[in-house]
Chain A
Amino acid sequence: MTSVLSHQKDHEHEEHGHDESSLKIFGFWIFMITDLILFATLFAAYVVLRTRYNGGPTGEELFSVPIFTTSTIILLTSSFTSGLAVLGLKNGKVNNAVGWLIITVLLGMAFVVLEITEFASMVDEGASISTSAFLSAFYVLVGTHGLHVSVGIVWMIGAIIQLMRDGISEVTTRKVNVVSLYWHFLDVVWIFIFSVVYLMGVM
């Protein structure tokens, strides 16, 4: 297995003129820049519209400190566990890595479920996306992040399947690295949502 791999790598260096994995990771960083701009634009929308309550509820009335603190803790923990998975991979322990990835996925799901229940209860209180510009901006910003987390979950499941199928290889290592990079990125975006939307909202 390893000899085939290194043989292939030789070819790539000679004939393709570059190394496949580093090329893909580089492109992924550029993709993250574009995703960052996407979120920056949504934050701008939120900042522009955040005080336009249109007679509807304000952030202070809607946000519940225990809920958003719990979400934050869950997501931060999941970022940590995805880091542990990468570490496990580095040490060559497949099962350990798979285990941490599964825990990360479960935490991610818990985060999404919590977000959905939070949204549902807000809508029940009569605070829907069409109530005010403030709420439109809130739902779209936070919801886009939630959607990204959901995509990340499916993506990570794909990585787990391959890790279990193929064991540790250059390809699976890269895939786990990339998805965990993405996961950290979503964590960073959440820190901003936590501060700009929730903390500033209840203060």
Chain B
Amino acid sequence: MLENVKKFASEFFVTGNTLIYAADISIVLTSLSIVFALTYFKKWGWLWREWLTTVDHKKIGIMYLISSLLMLFRGGVDALLMRTQLAFPNMEFLNSEHYNQIFTTHGTIMILFMAMPLMFALFNLVVPLQLGARDVAYPFLNAVSFWLFFFGAMLFNLSFVVGGSPDAGWLSYPPLSENTFSPGPGQNFYIWGIQISGIGSLATGINFLVTILKMRAPGMSLMKMPLFSWSVLSSCIAIIFAFPVLTVTLGLLFVDRFFGAHFFTLDGGGNPMFYINLIWMWGHPEVYIVVLPAFGIFSEVVSTFARKKIFGYKSMVFALVSISLLSFFTWVHHFFTMASNTVDAFFAVTTMAVAIPTGVKVFNWLFTMFRGRIQMKTPMLWMTGFIPTFLVGGATGVMLAVAPANFQYHNNYFLIAHFHQVLIGGVTFGFFAGMYYWWPKVFGFMLNEYLGKWAFWLWNIGFYVTFMPQYALGLMGMPRRSYTYGWDMGWWPLNFVSTIGAFLMGAGFVFQVWQIVYSIIHRQRDLTGDPWDGRTLEWSIPSPPPVYNFAVIPQVEKQDDWWYKKQNGSHRNKAVKYKPIHMPKDSGIPFITGFFWFVAGFGFTFEWVWIGLSGLIGVAVSLFTRYLQKDTDYYIPAEQVEATESAIGGARS
């Protein structure tokens, strides 16, 4: 008996590495201290009522923000571990197996559990406010989406301490990811973690698409809608078409592993290339899904801080939508070396075509800045840092798109440098710009600009120091995913520089955390609700906004409506009559549903079928209960709205 327990435990828990033991201990200690603090300060009820059961888009946005920053930390630690291993030739810091696990979890976490939720944080925090709406179209579903993301991410991260991490790359290509070559729970963690959060992302895509199409304030025609909302709309269109493909792809891989089917196996008539096509039919649109909202953010930031209307609004809209559509016709550029010449030619042309609308956007931003009265606040700093990084990233992207040349750079460090250039310089910098820009709106206080500038410069300089040498390393032939190299290759100096850069970016992250903590302690309240002298509707209401956002739904007349109203003074019209406001009730079901998905995913990961099935039954029962529920919304009485508004108004004036 005892022997059995021992044997089970040694397989179940990941063992044999000091790093992992250290992580185990810190996880246990952190969890214990959280439990202790919640109990000691009697905060369990508060946590449940205010956060775990909320359907308020603003609170959901904050929870996305916190989770994504935690995931940025984990993904960043992974990155630093890898760069440490590569700092010197023949290092023995990580072995090859461990290195494989780390680049896999790093890539997966950064894209699916950092970039996606950070993007959803901004969707949630901003879109309803920009549209003049009281919430998203389906607040309950929105909460379900968040908890699916949350529990999916938890499941994926669990692989670090129990069962073992996946190690077949962030896209998990078969046949390597099949049972024959990757037995054990690692790949299953990958499949279920992403599957669960992916279903949540799909629901978010539907939710915001409908919100944007149907819930805009009266008078806001699509062509008067702020560009960030347009970028969210284009991103959601891509989500709706791409994510079902991911669901199927992961599902089929699991069926292969669990039932011994032959979709992507080498034997039995399976076709691994089919997986690679499928995963990139999702994967390429996915990178545009995350970059489009970043473009939208830059458009808002640049016109606010240049204090000018965005240049070429219509061409911006056209560019967003066409990028979203073009992104579905480029996927083969990820495996030019495996397709035929004519296919390559077609996909090389479509890939280069994406550069055209992207170029249009860059010129429009530059024209907006031209002769503007630019204020270099932190959001604008990230915006200006983005332009050169993205230009280099775009140029190297076009180089990669030249199919014959691609045979040269394929799967070496040139590629690594290129995609980090667009993912960090474009996506991450964009989301940071958005976070800094909307922070005062969400939390009602300002972030310290001085520490913010330090964070920006460390990230920006660190970025070039890390990735410029990698282009050269690629041209010198250093393959991606190599865990070590010899002295004789001549790759050492550049790798060493690159590692220094990575630590500079790590320091940038530390400054961001410091900045946030410092600003919470030395709170500098924003009483105006409009600290940047903004242009769009979210700046017309108090910060942080009341539950119902708008006491009275605004009547929109122009693009940049708030700016327009401030110019002609009509924003001061205070004689309003409040009416009762219809709001959705909070509910614990989203959290419970997410939890049961976690149970299901955990069960199937270890192939403990009964646990898996009971999780699925739990999901079904909770959703069925919700389906039968009647009492799902309520009205805030007019008097209460009036009281809230005058309390805030008192503080504001």
Residues of A whose CB lies within 8 Å of any CB of B are 11-12, 14-18, 23-24, 26-27, 30-31, 33-35, 37-38, 41-42, 45, 48-49, 52-54, 129-134, 136-137, 139-140, 154-155, 158, 161-162, 166, 171
Contacts of A49 in B (CB 8 A): 262-263, 269-271, 274
Contacts of A41 in B (CB 8 A): 244-245, 248-249, 278
Contacts of B627 in A (CB 8 A): 155, 158
Which of B117-125, B206-214, B562-570, B599-607 faces chain A? B206-214
User: Within 8 Å of chain A (Cβ to Cβ): is B388?
Assistant: no
Q: Which of B590-645 contact A (CB under 8 A)?
A: 620, 624, 627-628, 630, 635
User: Within 8 Å of chain A (Cβ to Cβ): is B268?
Assistant: yes
Given the known inter-chain contacts A27-B210, A38-B248, please indicate yes or no for A136 contacting B217, CB distance below 8 A: no
- Report Cα–Cα, A17/B255, bound state, in Å: 45
Q: How far is the CB of A97 from chain B (nearest CB, A)?
A: 18
- Report Cα–Cα, A48/B272, bound state, in Å: 12
Q: How far is the CB of A9 from chain B (nearest CB, A)?
A: 11
Q: How far is the CB of B548 from chain A (nearest CB, A)?
A: 9
A151 to chain B: closest residue by CB: B620
Check if B206 sits within 8 Å of A17, measured CB to CB.
no
Check if A31 sits within 8 Å of B206, measured CB to CB.
yes
4 smallest beta-carbon distances between A and B, as pairs: A52-B269, A133-B269, A136-B261, A130-B260
Check if A33 sits within 8 Å of B271, measured CB to CB.
no
Which of B92-100, B130-138, B460-468 faces chain A? B130-138
Check if A16 sits within 8 Å of B210, measured CB to CB.
no
- Report Cα–Cα, A49/B262, bound state, in Å: 9
Contacts of A139 in B (CB 8 A): 261
Contacts of B579 in A (CB 8 A): 11, 14-15
Interface string of B149-176 (1 = CB under 8 A from A): 0000000000000000000000000000
- Report Cα–Cα, A41/B259, bound state, in Å: 20
Given the known inter-chain contacts A129-B261, A132-B262, A158-B624, please indicate yes or no for A48 contacting B271, CB distance below 8 A: yes
User: Within 8 Å of chain A (Cβ to Cβ): is B490?
Assistant: no
Check if A45 sits within 8 Å of B263, measured CB to CB.
yes
Given the known inter-chain contacts A54-B269, A129-B255, please indicate yes or no for A34 contacting B243, CB distance below 8 A: yes
User: Within 8 Å of chain A (Cβ to Cβ): is B29?
Assistant: no
- Report Cα–Cα, A169/B553, bound state, in Å: 28
Residue count of chain B within 8 Å CB distance of chain A: 50
Check if A140 sits within 8 Å of B255, measured CB to CB.
yes
User: Within 8 Å of chain A (Cβ to Cβ): is B102?
Assistant: no
Check if A18 sits within 8 Å of B215, measured CB to CB.
yes
Contact of A54 among B210, B268, B635 (CB under 8 A): B268
- Report Cα–Cα, A129/B202, bound state, in Å: 29
Q: How far is the CB of B331 from chain A (nearest CB, A)?
A: 13
Contacts of A15 in B (CB 8 A): 553, 579-582
B246 to chain A: closest residue by CB: A41
- Report Cα–Cα, A26/B211, bound state, in Å: 11
Residues of B whose CB lies within 8 Å of any CB of A are 133-134, 137-138, 202, 206-207, 209-210, 213-215, 217-218, 240-241, 243-245, 247-249, 251-252, 255-256, 259-263, 265, 267-271, 274, 278, 553, 579-582, 620, 624, 627-628, 630, 635
Contacts of A53 in B (CB 8 A): 269
Check if B261 sits within 8 Å of A130, measured CB to CB.
yes
Check if A38 sits within 8 Å of B244, measured CB to CB.
yes
Check if B248 sits within 8 Å of A134, measured CB to CB.
no
Check if B206 sits within 8 Å of A45, measured CB to CB.
no
Check if B263 sits within 8 Å of A16, measured CB to CB.
no
Greatest chain A CB density within 10 A among B259, B261, B620, B635 is at: B261
- The dominant DSSP class at the A interface is helix
Contact of B630 among A17, A54, A166 (CB under 8 A): A166
- Report Cα–Cα, A66/B561, bound state, in Å: 65
Given the known inter-chain contacts A11-B580, A18-B215, please indicate yes or no for A134 contacting B252, CB distance below 8 A: no
Q: Given contacts A26-B214, A136-B262, could you give 5 more A-B pairs where the C-beta distance is less than 8 Å?
A: A16-B582, A24-B138, A54-B268, A131-B268, A136-B256
Given the known inter-chain contacts A26-B214, A30-B209, A30-B240, please indicate yes or no for A132 contacting B269, CB distance below 8 A: yes
Check if B263 sits within 8 Å of A136, measured CB to CB.
yes
Contacts of B268 in A (CB 8 A): 52, 54, 130-133, 136
Q: How far is the CB of A163 from chain B (nearest CB, A)?
A: 11
Contacts of A31 in B (CB 8 A): 206
Contacts of A171 in B (CB 8 A): 630
Q: How far is the CB of B536 from chain A (nearest CB, A)?
A: 18
Check if B582 sits within 8 Å of A12, measured CB to CB.
yes
Q: How far is the CB of B526 from chain A (nearest CB, A)?
A: 27
Contacts of A133 in B (CB 8 A): 261-263, 265, 268-271
Greatest chain B CB density within 10 A among A12, A45, A155 is at: A45
Contacts of B138 in A (CB 8 A): 24, 27
Contact of B260 among A12, A52, A129 (CB under 8 A): A129
Check if B274 sits within 8 Å of A54, measured CB to CB.
no
Given the known inter-chain contacts A12-B582, A134-B269, A136-B263, please indicate yes or no for A17 contacting B248, CB distance below 8 A: no
Q: How far is the CB of B518 from chain A (nearest CB, A)?
A: 40
Contact of A45 among B252, B260, B630 (CB under 8 A): B252
Question: What are 22 A-B residue pairs whose CB atoms fall within 8 Å in the complex?
Answer: A14-B579, A15-B580, A17-B218, A23-B137, A23-B214, A30-B206, A30-B210, A34-B244, A38-B247, A41-B278, A48-B271, A49-B263, A52-B271, A54-B267, A54-B269, A129-B260, A131-B268, A136-B268, A140-B261, A154-B620, A166-B630, A171-B630
Check if B635 sits within 8 Å of A11, measured CB to CB.
yes
- Report Cα–Cα, A54/B624, bound state, in Å: 42
Contacts of A11 in B (CB 8 A): 579-580, 582, 635
Q: How far is the CB of A20 from chain B (nearest CB, A)?
A: 9
Contacts of B620 in A (CB 8 A): 154
Contacts of B553 in A (CB 8 A): 15, 17
- Report Cα–Cα, A139/B262, bound state, in Å: 11
- Report Cα–Cα, A165/B256, bound state, in Å: 44
Contacts of A16 in B (CB 8 A): 134, 582
- Report Cα–Cα, A15/B267, bound state, in Å: 61
Check if B248 sits within 8 Å of A54, measured CB to CB.
no
- Report Cα–Cα, A28/B80, bound state, in Å: 44
Contacts of A140 in B (CB 8 A): 251-252, 255, 261, 263
Greatest chain B CB density within 10 A among A53, A130, A131 is at: A130
Given the known inter-chain contacts A37-B244, A41-B248, please indicate yes or no for A137 contacting B263, CB distance below 8 A: yes
- Report Cα–Cα, A77/B263, bound state, in Å: 34
Q: How far is the CB of B134 from chain A (nearest CB, A)?
A: 7
Q: How far is the CB of B106 from chain A (nearest CB, A)?
A: 28
- Report Cα–Cα, A48/B213, bound state, in Å: 37
A132 to chain B: closest residue by CB: B269
